[in-house]
């Protein structure tokens, strides 16, 4: 048996009112890749924050034994000096600085009074090479893509002499190709003896890189599964994550009549708002019928959100070609969401905190925001009516909250998503574009969101559901479009679609480039 | 249970309690002088501009912590134009109209750059602060211009007769003032009780009924007491009418209208608001255009109160307005703030000034205290939020 590099023993961490971690145990052997999986809010990130000293010694119970010694980290600097380096999910790079400056930010070469730029850049270049980047370290971070920025983060960690590298969802903003490259890089590091902990939601990645998998649920470690053969079944992991066999993850939609084409775009072409030479949506033609749920499957960066937002009153990019028909009539929407809403189109964003909700306001205020006109005489708001409306949707969508006066910022992800849906349902659209409607919410809330989607279809609304979760797309859609590299590369009926032929459509289109 | 309710009540109304505490403090150290009818009258007359400017500033701050640094200069500029016009014997109403129109035009000018060209508000209004201070000097030729248009002075709170005449001919007390105070209090009490009843009927679990009633009693008592004091002196100063109108109008706008809602929404999450079909540029524009209009009104009140316009008038007014908003609980990031907060903030600063003046403390120390009050007020806010998290 290999040497145990890290052992976290009986870790308990309490926040006012919540026990975030309850007697957690984690053992990591030297030279392995250890995956930490669990639903959102299960406590994975909290555990890593305890390890790295973000939650200092004394604010939690239990012991951290690293390299045979009990550690009492009180800052990140302490853990980093021992070689424990964490790379957070959100990139922490300053766009306006060079790669080299970023890598040594807070860890500058030379003396306090004078930074040694020669050493900085020559060392930076060395580490960049190790992660497979050919860029000079004097290039500004904003000039390289997200995939490369993620690699810079890793190079930055290496520059700190990392012995134990913790990667928190390193591929969440990467496309398939960059993700694969990053995972292979991890495997390469492993060969050189590095120990790594990876937190991820993508179970195929877990099975690919991890030697051991620890499942965290509700603040406790459930089990550690051995994956030396890299062949573990994903359902096996899910079972551990949710604590039961999931037999019915998707509610059935039955007896919904599919009507005429409601929305149709053809030849839709959109360019990037800042770099007009880049085409982000290329000659896309799609349609959706009344009572139909159309899935758009594609990987991150395929252009799905861009397509949706450009249909929604050109709220993204520069539209250079294409027509939009509503109920068979060609419509030219003005460049504003207002006009799209007037034409009964709704776009439910994937980024509910950034683009969707006002966290500092109540459920009531958020629910009515997109359709204030209907509860006011355009000037004065009928507050009683507003309250009734918010109540109505709270009951209808089963939003869990003491009252609709509650601030949205205090709700869980699933309930926030329901408020966002309520807001757009209240705008009375005929076409709803749902962008990743179940991102970052737990299995139970997902089921309820699927039920809402089914109800919308039953009411005769047209639903376009964008998702990067294949099982969800397969189970919820009547028809599926496959999008890759800003084009629609396939269309199939749900009854004919399988994981294999969808992935095949993507791979085939990839080869054409 | 009771103690939890009490602490949350204390937290929610920290500034109201601070206001009462400050009043009690100064009544003790000035041996009650601060409560003399004349001093209360002066307090209102001297701080009229703060209430007016802070109401407008609140809207700007709501849109995302944006401020308007130009208002002090605009007050001086519009006031200067009015004074010059009245000196030239132009009709009073025309002068008033021009002052308001110029204020509005300046607000629209600044709002245009901020909303449609995306010039940061701080910079756009800093430019305005320099430019209109200079132009005010040009209009006034560098001198003080006196105003002796009595109609103007009476209506806008300057000179000796700027009070609502006593139609009811009270002997020692100004009866009109008392009656207005009683009617106002009654309306306030009835509205509050109705609000509680409506909330109960709808089953809204909001702030507890007891805390609302306690607050209502305190505020009603304050209104009654102030009007009683004013009736002992010369009655209702006309400037109080303007303050009351502005506060009522903007209180209504911020709580009951769609545009009011949009100020909060834009400050809370601009992108989400835009994607909800709100023209966010228009919201910024309206906030600044409105600020200009109110700066015009404040200009009128300022030159009326002094019976003259001088090139130095209005200096630092922008900071008084901004500080009132923040002391009153507005968020420096936008999206949070109330007109009631503005009233408390402005009153608190006014009383501290007045109290220290009566004690004979120099204005330099007064400023230092003002600074500390602002810091402490925001500190209390920040700390109470931290506890929650």
Task: For residue A170, give the CATH number of its domain.
Answer: 3.40.50.300
Residues spanned by the domain of A496: 259-334+431-440+464-513
Structural domain includes residue A447: no
Looking at A200, A216, A242, the residue that finishes a domain is A242
Contact A403 B335 (CB under 8 A): no
- Domain boundary (A374, A403, A428) is at A428
| Chain A nearest C-alpha distance from B381 (Å) | 15
Q: Would you say A276 and A341 are in contact if contact means Cβ atoms under 8 Å apart?
A: no
Whether A189 and A227 share a structural domain = yes
Residue A250 counted as domain residue: no
pLDDT at A29 over 90: yes
Cβ pair B268:A359 closer than 8 A = yes
Kindly state whether residues A157 and A67 are assigned to the same domain. yes
Residues of B in contact with A337 (CB under 8 A): 274-277
Q: How many Å lie between the alpha carbon of A437 and the closest alpha carbon of chain B?
A: 16
Q: How far apart are CA A228 and CA A233, in angstroms?
A: 13
Site of tokens 């893509």: A145
Supply the DSSP symbol for B104: H
Is the pLDDT at A389 greater than 60? The verdict is yes
Our count of domains for chain A comes to 3
**Residue A298 sits in the same domain as residue A211:** no
Q: B323 with B345: CB under 8 angstroms?
A: yes
Question: Count of A–B CB contacts within 8 Å?
Answer: 88
pLDDT at A513: 43
Name, in order, each residue with C-beta under 8 angstroms of A338's C-beta and a sequence gap of 6 or more. A313, B277, B278, B279
A180 and A296 in one domain?
no
Which of A15, A372, A387, A416 is the best substitution to test chain B (most B C-beta atoms within 10 A)? Answer: A372
The answer as to whether A222 is a domain residue is yes
Instruction: Judge whether A455 lies within some domain.
Output: no
The pTM assigned to this predicted structure is 0.83
Residues of A with CB under 8 A from a CB of B: 312, 315, 336-338, 340-342, 347, 349, 354-361, 365, 369-370, 372-373, 376, 378-381, 383-384, 387, 402-403, 405, 423, 427
Helices B280-306, B238-256: inter-axial angle, 10-degree rounding: 170
Mark whether A478 and A374 lie in a shared domain: no
Across the interface, do B271 and A358 touch by the CB < 8 Å criterion?
A: no
A157 and A79 in a common domain: yes
Segment A99-123 shows an average pLDDT of 89
* Banded pLDDT at B299 (limits 50, 70, 90): very high
Look at chain A and count its residues. Answer: 513
Instruction: Classify residue A450: in a domain, yes or no.
Output: no
CB contact under 8 A, B272 and A358: yes
CA nearest to B335, candidates B251, B256, B261: B261
Q: What residues does each domain of chain B span?
A: 2-162+237-388, 163-236
Q: Is the pLDDT of residue B212 over 90?
A: no
Q: How far apart are alpha carbons B137 and A192 in whole angstroms?
A: 75
Residue A306: CB partners within 8 Å, gap ≥ 6? Answer: A270, A280, A281, A316, A317, A486
Contacts of B329 in chain A (CB under 8 A): none
Q: Are A480 and A491 in contact (CB under 8 A)?
A: yes
Residue A252 lies in a domain: no
Structure tokens at B125: 């209004």
Q: Which residues of chain A lie closer than 8 angstroms to B276, CB-CB?
A: 337, 341, 369-370, 423
**Stretch A296-315: mean pLDDT, rounded?**
88
Q: H helices of A53-108, where?
A: 76-81, 99-103
| CB atoms A358 and B273 under 8 Å | yes
Q: How far apart are the first and last CA of chain A?
A: 47
Across the beta sheet with A212-217, what order do the strands follow? Answer: A84-87, A164-168, A195-199, A33-37, A212-217, A220-226
Please report where in the chains the tokens 């320099």 appear, as a residue: B130
Task: Give the three-class secondary structure for B24.
Answer: helix
Query: Which chain B residues touch A405 with a CB distance below 8 Å?
Result: 204-206
A87 and A159 in a single domain? The answer is yes
Q: Is residue A500 part of a domain?
A: yes
Mean pLDDT for chain B? 90
Looking at the structure, tell me whether residues A72 and A141 fall in a common domain: yes
What's the pLDDT tens digit per position in B242-270? 999 999 999 999 999 999 999 999 999 99
Contact between residue B337 and residue B329 where contact means Cβ atoms under 8 Å apart = yes
Average pLDDT for residues B68-85, to the nearest whole number?
Answer: 96
**Mean pLDDT of all residues belonging to chain A:** 88
Last residue of a domain, one of A178, A213, A242: A242
Least confident of A208-212, A314-318, B3-7, B309-313: B3-7
CATH number of B2-162+237-388: 1.10.3470
What kind and span of H or E run contains A221? strand A220-226
Of residues B206, B259, B275, nearest to A337 (C-beta): B275
| Domain contains A456 | no
Same domain, A216 and A293: no
Q: Which residue has the tokens 């909001």?
A: B206
B156, B309 in Cβ contact below 8 A?
no
Q: Do A35 and A83 sit in the same domain of this protein?
A: yes
Query: What integer is the mean pLDDT of B116-123?
Result: 95
Judged against a pLDDT cut of 70, whether residue B207 lies above it is answered with no
All residues of chain B having their beta carbon less than 8 Å from the beta carbon of residue A379 are 257-259
Residues A279, A356 within the same domain: no
Q: What is the ipTM of this complex?
A: 0.84
Which pLDDT score is estimated for A27? 92
pLDDT at B240 over 70: yes
What distance in Å separates the CA atoms of residue A454 and residue A476, rounded to the nearest whole number? 8
Pairwise CA distance, residues B52 & B297, whole Å: 8
| Per-residue pLDDT at A255 exceeds 90 | no
The continuous run of DSSP H or E covering B61 comes out as helix B37-62
B258 CA: distance to closest CA in chain A (Å):
5
Q: Identify whether the C-beta of residue A457 lies closer than 8 Å to the C-beta of residue A262.
A: no
Among B258, B275, B331, beta carbon nearest to A376: B258
Using alpha carbons, list the distances in angstroms from residue A151 to A130, A139, A147, B82, B97: 10, 14, 7, 65, 64
Does the pLDDT value for residue A39 go beyond 80? no
Same domain assignment for residues A323 and A380 = no
């Amino acid at each position: 048996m290999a040497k145990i590099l890290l052992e976290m023993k009986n870790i308990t961490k309490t926040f006012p009112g919540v026990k975030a971690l309850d007697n957690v145990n984690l053992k990591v052997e030297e030279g392995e890749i250890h995956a930490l999986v669990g639903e959102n809010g299960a406590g994975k990130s909290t555990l890593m924050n305890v390890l790295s000293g973000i939650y200092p010694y004394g604010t939690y119970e239990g012991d951290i034994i690293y390299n045979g010694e009990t550690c009492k980290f009180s800052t990140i600097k302490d853990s980093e000096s021992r070689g424990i380096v964490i790379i957070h999910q959100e990139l922490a790079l300053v766009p306006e600085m060079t790669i080299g400056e970023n890598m040594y930010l807070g860890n500058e070469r030379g003396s306090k009074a004078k930074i040694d730029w020669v050493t900085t850049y020559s060392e930076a270049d060395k580490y960049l090479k190790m992660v497979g980047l050919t860029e000079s370290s004097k290039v500004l971070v904003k000039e390289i893509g997200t995939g490369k920025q993620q690699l810079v983060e890793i190079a930055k960690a290496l520059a700190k002499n990392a012995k134990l590298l913790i990667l928190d969802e390193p591929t969440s903003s990467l496309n398939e190709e960059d993700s694969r490259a990053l995972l292979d890089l991890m495997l390469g590091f492993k060969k050189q003896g590095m120990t790594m902990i990876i937190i991820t939601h993508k179970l195929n990645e877990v099975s690919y890189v991890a030697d051991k998998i620890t499942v965290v649920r509700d603040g406790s470690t459930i089990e550690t599964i051995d994956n030396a053969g890299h062949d573990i079944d994903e359902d096996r992991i899910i079972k551990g994550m949710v604590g039961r066999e999931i037999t019915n993850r998707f509610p059935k939609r039955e007896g919904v009549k599919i009507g005429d084409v409601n929305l149709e775009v053809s030849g839709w072409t959109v360019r990037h708002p800042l770099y007009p030479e880049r085409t982000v949506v290329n000659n896309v033609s799609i349609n959706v019928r009344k009572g139909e749920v159309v899935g758009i499957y594609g990987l991150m960066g395929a252009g799905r959100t861009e397509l949706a937002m450009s249909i929604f009153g050109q709220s993204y990019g520069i539209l250079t070609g294409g027509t939009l028909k509503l109920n068979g009539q060609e419509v030219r929407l003005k460049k504003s969401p207002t006009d799209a809403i007037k034409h009964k189109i709704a776009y439910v964003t994937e980024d509910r905190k950034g683009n969707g909700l006002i966290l500092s306001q109540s459920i009531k205020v958020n629910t009515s925001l997109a359709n204030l006109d209907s509860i006011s005489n355009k000037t004065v708001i009928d507050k009683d009516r507003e309250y009734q409306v918010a109540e109505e949707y709270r009951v209808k969508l089963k939003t869990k909250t003491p009252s609709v006066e509650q601030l949205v910022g205090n709700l869980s992800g699933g309930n926030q998503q329901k408020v966002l849906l309520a807001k757009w349902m209240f705008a009375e659209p005929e076409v709803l574009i749902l962008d990743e409607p179940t991102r970052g919410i737990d299995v139970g809330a997902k089921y309820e969101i699927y039920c809402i989607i089914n109800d919308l279809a039953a009411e005769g609304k047209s639903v376009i559901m964008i998702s990067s979760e294949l099982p969800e797309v397969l189970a919820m859609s009547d028809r599926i479009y496959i999008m890759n590299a800003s084009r629609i590369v396939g269309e199939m009926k749900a009854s004919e679609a399988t994981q294999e032929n969808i992935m095949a459509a993507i791979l085939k289109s990839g080869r054409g480039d | 249970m009771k103690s939890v309710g009490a602490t949350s009540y204390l937290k929610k109304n920290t500034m109201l309690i601070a206001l009462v505490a400050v009043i009690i403090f100064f009544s003790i150290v000035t041996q009650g002088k601060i409560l003399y009818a004349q001093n209360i009258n002066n307090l209102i007359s001297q701080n009229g501009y703060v209430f007016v400017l802070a109401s407008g500033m609140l809207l700007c701050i709501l849109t995302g912590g944006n401020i308007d640094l130009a208002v002090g200069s605009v007050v001086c500029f519009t006031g200067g134009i009015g004074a010059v016009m009245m000196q030239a014997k132009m009709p009073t109403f025309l002068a008033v109209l021009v002052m308001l129109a110029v204020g509005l035009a300046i607000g629209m000018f600044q709002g245009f750059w901020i909303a449609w060209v995306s010039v940061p508000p701080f910079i756009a209004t800093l430019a305005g602060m320099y430019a209109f201070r200079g132009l005010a000097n040009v209009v006034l030729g560098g001198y003080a211009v006196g105003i002796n248009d009595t109609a103007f002075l009476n209506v806008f709170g300057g000179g000796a007769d700027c009070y609502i005449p006593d139609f009811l001919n009270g002997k020692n007390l100004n009866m009109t003032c008392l009656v207005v105070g009683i009617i106002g209090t009654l309306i306030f009490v009835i509205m509050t009780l109705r609000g509680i009843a409506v909330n109960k009927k709808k089953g809204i679990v909001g702030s507890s009924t007891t805390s609302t009633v306690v607050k209502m009693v305190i505020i009603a008592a304050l209104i009654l007491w102030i009007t009683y004091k004013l009736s002992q002196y010369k009655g209702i100063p006309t400037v109080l009418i303007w303050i009351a109108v502005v506060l009522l109008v903007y209180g209504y706008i911020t709580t009951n209208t769609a545009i009011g809602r949009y100020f909060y929404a834009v400050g809370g999450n601009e992108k989400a608001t835009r994607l909800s079909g709100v023209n966010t540029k228009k919201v910024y524009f309206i906030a600044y255009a409105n600020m200009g209009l109110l700066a015009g009104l404040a200009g009128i009140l300022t030159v009326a109160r002094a019976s003259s316009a001088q090139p130095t008038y209005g200096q630092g007014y922008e900071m008084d307005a901004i500080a009132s908003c923040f002391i009153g609980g507005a968020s420096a990031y936008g999206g949070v703030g109330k007109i009631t907060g503005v009233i408390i903030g402005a009153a608190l600063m006014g009383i501290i000034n007045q109290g220290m003046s009566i004690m004979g403390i120099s204005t330099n120390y007064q400023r230092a205290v003002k600074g500390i009050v602002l810091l402490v007020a925001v500190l209390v806010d920040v700390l109470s939020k931290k506890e929650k998290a």
